[in-house]
Structure 1
Amino acid sequence: MSIMHETGSPARRLLALFAGLALALPARAAPQVQGELADMTIEELANIQVTSVSKKPERLIDAPASVYVITAEDIRRSGAATLPEVLRLAPNLQVAQTSNETYSITARGMNGSSNSPPNKLLVLVDGRSVYTPLFSGVFWDAQDVLLEDVERIEVISGPGGTLWGVNAVTGVINITTRSAHQTSGTLALARAASDGADAALRYGATSGTASWRVVAKTLVRSHNELASGAPVNDGWHQSQLGFRADWERGADRFGVNANAYRGKQEQPEPGLINVPGSDQRLGTIRTEGANLTAHWQRLLDDGGTLGVQAYLDYTRREVPPSFTESLDIADLQLQHSLPALGAHSVVWGVNYRHSRDRVTNSDIVAFLPADDRQAWSSVFAQDEIGLSDKLRLTVGARVERNPYTGSEWLPTARLAYKPAAGHALWASASRTVRAPSRIDVDAFVPGQPPYIVAGGPLVRSEVARVYEMGYRGQPAAGLSYSLALFHNDYDHLRTVELLPSGTALAFASLMEGTADGVEAWGSYQVTEQWRLSAGFTALRERFRLKPGSNSVGDPATSGFDPAHTAQLRSSYSFDDRRELEVAVRNVGALAIGPVSGYTAVDARFGWWLSRELELSVSGQNLNGSHAEFGPVGTRMEVPRRVAVKLVWRR
């Protein structure tokens, strides 16, 4: 049982103490935190420079795509403790929590299927792709960045294959952390919550044109509960160290970023492994990893830029008694933005990626071969053409080669029209794919027929042809909104088929379908101190089997996605020391589970106790616990959470 349910618990007494301090301490001005966007107007926010849409800086209002930006100030005021919690701020994402450290996060549906977790959303952290070749998805527990270091998160809903490659099918999440130049000095934080605790320490310094910082952080999460009140074994502990350095020399910009982490999590599924003849119980998942990213950029005399980025990424995940995986990835990227050539603005680049994946197999699941080396290579080019002062056309394409299906063609065309200042209309057509992963082709589950499941040559790349149109603008002072409509045509979606022998199941690509939807969000500055933000999505998916398929459950894939989501946020500053954030989220029901629709209320009160010390009290799901994903009887109830956080900056 959560300690917040215990009468007179230490957590309640701590909250009461801090509440008394907030009312009793004298008022002092808050410090100006470098790099935050606290004082930006809605008009200034529209001019934020984003890079995810065109791989070069452009104003948000000019970007011809459905893109939402989560700023550093949004993150600070939200009270979120982890990256997936922050992503709930993006109205064009669907975020469902399944355990302490496990989330299903998607854009525009496709939240997995009866045989797959989400695998069509590309996630980058400072240019480093964090999707795993094991299943083309993201292990969210490994993405434990210090939120105070995040500068912005650009969330694109829709295809990004031309610029970012295969697997950028339904969206791209591009997380950018602050440069070391922006984080000089000391930061310390401590957070105590009803479900655990967090602590972090950061120190940075600057000398001439060079800056560096070091970061250490740790977190602990307690067990959760089922709807019945029975405990769920999903306790989590993780620690991380990080280093970053940035420096300049003339027209050159250099940067190095390194991280290492280690964690352990209990497995939430109760009981014995459901494989005939197995009596092995689930054990503790142990994870570790390290990554090193280096980049160089030169500002060319003719107005162009040339950049190179390379990274090494090592991860290890032990999931007893199922498997253990050790993965090494090396990635090298080159990008060249040419100077303007009349009406043309061209950017092109090449990418090479190599991995070594080593799996320790078991009698529950196996990958054949167990030790596999893979390589991906690609080249892309994109041209932005100014047809007139108000009209511009962007065309581009990428050719990417993967180990399973060979070369894939990823073209796109986008047309943007600006009828007046502060208004933009856009439309696009794209083709993108999700290439097969190891679980599609190399997986094998031993057992008695028909319990055998295997990948193999029946699997093809999943294809999406996407058509979009949208509007982004500021029709009045203090008001901005964005609207996007989309239609996706899917082909070769993965299915599980009974082989002609009748004794084995195998992955294949015998499903097709469509998805139609709308995304809308906006902000309104009610007064100088009060801002309202709202968002809404609606989605309709239809899937059907192709001739020759005998799959049963796969057409119900749409049941993993809510038909609608909605959110409303209120940001209010009493003065320059005290602020209140209240957010309400509503998520539609899931047919598979089934999972009832729910409404969640979150709130945060922040108080600057001095120029260096910030105190906040936050609550999530204040109206009660609810389920978000998973089958009845074994899924976690996302609980009510209350937390107190202290951040000291100097």
Structure 2
Amino acid sequence: MSFGPSSTRSSLLLALLFSPAVLADDLFLDSEALPQILTATRLKQSPAEVPGSMTVLDSELINASGARDISELLRLVPGMMVGAISGNQAAVNYHGTNATQARRMQVLIDGRSVYRAGLATVDWSDIPVAMEDVERIEVFRGPNTVSYGANALMAVVNIITRNPADSHGTRVKISRGQRGINDYYASQGSGWNGGNLRLSLSGQQDDGFDEDRTGADYRDSRRLDRVSLSVSHTLSEDQSLDWQINAKDGTNQRPYTYRPVFYGITAAGNNSDVVAKDYAGSVRWNLDVNPDHSLYVQGSAQHWDRQQTWRACDAEVSFSPQLTELWKLNPNYTELLARNMNRFTGPGAPPGTPAEMALANQVLDQWRNGASRTVCGDIDQSIRESRYDLELQDTLSLSDSLRLVSGMNYRYDRAESETYFNGTLDDTTWRTFGQLEWRASEHWLLQGGAMFEDTRLVGSSLTPRFAVNYLINPRHGLRAVYSEAIRSPGMFENNVNWSYQVSGLRPYAYGQSSARYFVKTRGPGDLDQERMRSRELGYNGYFADLGLALDVKLFYDEITGMISEPLRNNQFIASNANSARFRGTETQADWRLSAADRLRLTYAFVDAQASNPQDQQFTARNSGSAGWLRDWGRGWSSALFYYGDNALNGYRFERVDTRIAKRIPLGKAQLQLAGVVQQRLDHEPTTFVDNNYDDRRVMYLSAELEF
């Protein structure tokens, strides 16, 4: 698959879309049911009616891909930039922005957000759901603050798990392969009069990347275990109750990146691994008042626990009270002094204000009198985050042509870390939202909505969306959309109080076994929300006779007030000073050539410009995927996928995945054997220079038994 000029492709696609011969064959529709989309507006809609661009990854596509992680599946979404910070840390963002800080997407599991407000991130490797439990993934490609609040700035990923009623029986699956791949899955589903449940246990393990830029072993393997319980109850003809419990425990290795500040000190450790524990529970009560009126109440609780400790060495002067005071006065001056202590020992303090030079001379005296000696201690960078969420949603059909969805949401977030926040920080958010859908005529569909949101730490906002859909017929529609969206700064960005209390010091520093490191970072506390304005023109159609689903999107997005500074404990000064603009086109085609063959193609051309160059590095100008799924009969099936982008953080990515599977009947049971081979076509690192494999090919096998 090669990438050529976008204008040529657009012209060919538009010619196909509006060819009278093609559309004429589809004017008289058969009785085939239209697929339903829920993520876009919280109303059930056909793809042609959605006020925006949608990608749906169904169970057939998920299984055929052979993907082991949600992030890998998102390579099938046009415009989605998928990279890796390290082997166990995926970086995912729609259209781009900073490669290491993918902060601008909302990610949901059955409507429950897993976006961590404390550090403004999504832990893709630690999402507590097994791939085998996922029924489908709906991706709204564009801003959707209107439906899901702040952080749905650029896209929404909704992971929908299998209904317990569709999960009866026993499934056992194991996968083994190169690069230390060692996965397992087991589930048991059963039902009773008025209820169903699914209990699943799963785990993953792999070795990550092989070597860094120097050829040294790259410490980035992972191990995790998960348990999930999903239960549904039918309380009466008009009421039902659904609840879930999820837990995850694992270890993510981290490369040891600490470098001593003071000259002549040698780093001490090689282990800064993270022990990651996640717990979540949710319950949802559904009420169908009548065929035209329904509502639900959903509550959830989540807890993220990241325990990270390591041992480091630096000079004793790192804990000097005078050096700490100097840092508060002028971090730049202090860093100049700290990194050049030997240079200034003779002539005295570098030029500065009288107060700065007085403190600097005291520090230099301490250095000359023995504070240059090495001391080592334990650093704790753990963080615990909790969230409690309560939501009420009401869906009402006012008439045959008018539907309304409205609701309220309350959320409480709490982050606890002695390192990041010097204790505990919390926040509360109130939301109210509404969306109206009006069928003005057989062909015209008008939609409008807004969400009002108030966050204690940041303030309030109102975000609207307006859309006009022209339905050529129920399967073909043109759309024009204008929307505004926001992203609230995370607790870390706005309110960080970052410093290290180092314990177990040997030898003692200034007579103490525990002391605070001199570097301290404070957040500004007055950051505003990032704001986005988005314009979109598009087409969505389904050619029933051809089995072809097609979507084309032209977009122009602007983000202002961007917070682009990297999260690091060294003169981190967050601001709303940056901006970015994204414009381009996206296309996706899903073509069922026959009962045995399915072809799927995606392409995105994204032209990005940003005031901060880092916000352009994670945008590939050309990217796409191609997939061919084939049922050969007699239990044999295959899938072939290509993924490519021309430059992600400066590195090209091209890979071909092949999966071959055989289903074998065993009486009432079925055994499926499958093999996956992933072959890189390029010879470049993955996203960052330290992400390298010894072999460009990896293979893994799986065996799954159902009974």
* TM-score normalised according to structure 2 size: 0.78
Equivalent in 442, 459, 465 of residue 406 of structure 1? 459
- Distance (whole Å) between structure 1 residues aligned to residue 577 and residue 131 of structure 2: 42
- Distance (whole Å) between structure 2 residues aligned to residue 170 and residue 289 of structure 1: 26
- Distance (whole Å) between structure 2 residues aligned to residue 576 and residue 401 of structure 1: 58
Moved more, 66-75 or 247-256: 247-256
Relative distance call for 1:351 and 1:617 in structure 2 (3 A) is same
* TM-score normalised according to structure 1 size: 0.85
Q: State the partner residue of 1:352.
A: 410
Secondary structure, in 3 states, of the residue corresponding to 1:439?
A: helix
- Distance (whole Å) between structure 1 residues aligned to residue 656 and residue 704 of structure 2: 24
Whether 2:88 is the aligned partner of 1:108: answer no
Q: State the partner residue of 1:315.
A: 304
Secondary structure, in 3 states, of the residue corresponding to 2:527?
A: coil
Q: State the partner residue of 2:200.
A: 215
Q: State the partner residue of 2:655.
A: 600
- Distance (whole Å) between structure 2 residues aligned to residue 588 and residue 493 of structure 1: 25
Secondary structure, in 3 states, of the residue corresponding to 1:137?
A: coil
Quick one: which amino acid aligns to residue 423 of structure 1? H
Deviation of the 1:495 alpha carbon = 4.6
Deviation of the 1:496 alpha carbon = 4.6
- Distance (whole Å) between structure 2 residues aligned to residue 421 and residue 336 of structure 1: 26
* Unpaired stretches in structure 1, ≥5 consecutive residues: 1-41, 498-502, 545-553
Relative distance call for 1:510 and 1:257 in structure 2 (3 A) is same
Relative distance call for 1:340 and 1:324 in structure 2 (3 A) is same
Deviation of the 1:606 alpha carbon = 0.7
Whether 2:581 is the aligned partner of 1:526: answer no
Quick one: which amino acid aligns to residue 327 of structure 1? E
How is 1:409-558 mapped onto 2 (pairs within 5 angstroms)? 409-445=462-498, 453-475=521-543, 477-496=546-565, 504-544=571-611, 554-558=612-616
- Distance (whole Å) between structure 2 residues aligned to residue 588 and residue 274 of structure 1: 37
Deviation of the 1:219 alpha carbon = 1.7
Over alpha carbons, which structure has the higher Rg? 2
Whether 2:248 is the aligned partner of 1:194: answer no
Q: State the partner residue of 1:30.
A: none
Q: State the partner residue of 1:547.
A: none
Quick one: which amino acid aligns to residue 193 of structure 1? G
* Unpaired stretches in structure 2, ≥5 consecutive residues: 1-28, 310-378, 501-515
- Distance (whole Å) between structure 2 residues aligned to residue 338 and residue 589 of structure 1: 47
State whether residues 396 and 413 of structure 1, in contact with CA within 8 Å, keep that contact through their aligned partners in structure 2: yes
Secondary structure, in 3 states, of the residue corresponding to 2:60?
A: helix
State whether residues 159 and 466 of structure 1, in contact with CA within 8 Å, keep that contact through their aligned partners in structure 2: yes
- Distance (whole Å) between structure 2 residues aligned to residue 629 and residue 274 of structure 1: 27
Quick one: which amino acid aligns to residue 421 of structure 2? F
Whether 2:391 is the aligned partner of 1:391: answer no
Relative distance call for 1:517 and 1:451 in structure 2 (3 A) is farther
Whether 2:138 is the aligned partner of 1:138: answer no
State whether residues 46 and 59 of structure 1, in contact with CA within 8 Å, keep that contact through their aligned partners in structure 2: no
Relative distance call for 1:604 and 1:238 in structure 2 (3 A) is same
Relative distance call for 1:64 and 1:44 in structure 2 (3 A) is farther
Residues 590-639 of structure 1: CA distance to partner in whole angstroms, max 9, x if unpaired?
3x4xx321211101001002251111011123547642312x3x234495
Identity percentage of aligned residues: 21
Secondary structure, in 3 states, of the residue corresponding to 1:181?
A: helix
Relative distance call for 1:275 and 1:572 in structure 2 (3 A) is farther
Quick one: which amino acid aligns to residue 462 of structure 1? E
- Distance (whole Å) between structure 2 residues aligned to residue 94 and residue 465 of structure 1: 20
Q: State the partner residue of 1:283.
A: 272
Whether 2:303 is the aligned partner of 1:247: answer no
Deviation of the 1:222 alpha carbon = 2.0
State whether residues 590 and 601 of structure 2, in contact with CA within 8 Å, keep that contact through their aligned partners in structure 1: yes
Deviation of the 1:493 alpha carbon = 1.0
Moved more, 217-226 or 402-411: 217-226
Deviation of the 1:469 alpha carbon = 1.2
State whether residues 482 and 521 of structure 1, in contact with CA within 8 Å, keep that contact through their aligned partners in structure 2: yes
Secondary structure, in 3 states, of the residue corresponding to 1:521?
A: strand
Deviation of the 1:91 alpha carbon = 2.6
Moved more, 87-96 or 282-291: 87-96
Higher helix share: 2
Equivalent in 106, 110, 117 of residue 126 of structure 1? 110
Please give the root-mean-square deviation of Cα atoms over the aligned residues, in Å: 2.5
State whether residues 642 and 655 of structure 2, in contact with CA within 8 Å, keep that contact through their aligned partners in structure 1: yes
Residues 443-463 of structure 1: CA distance to partner in whole angstroms, max 9, x if unpaired?
245599997653213522111
Deviation of the 1:507 alpha carbon = 1.1
Residues 147-172 of structure 1: CA distance to partner in whole angstroms, max 9, x if unpaired?
22211100111011011000101100
Secondary structure, in 3 states, of the residue corresponding to 1:239?
A: strand
Whether 2:177 is the aligned partner of 1:166: answer no
Relative distance call for 1:416 and 1:564 in structure 2 (3 A) is same
Quick one: which amino acid aligns to residue 646 of structure 2? G
Quick one: which amino acid aligns to residue 236 of structure 1? R
- Distance (whole Å) between structure 2 residues aligned to residue 63 and residue 214 of structure 1: 34
State whether residues 46 and 61 of structure 1, in contact with CA within 8 Å, keep that contact through their aligned partners in structure 2: no
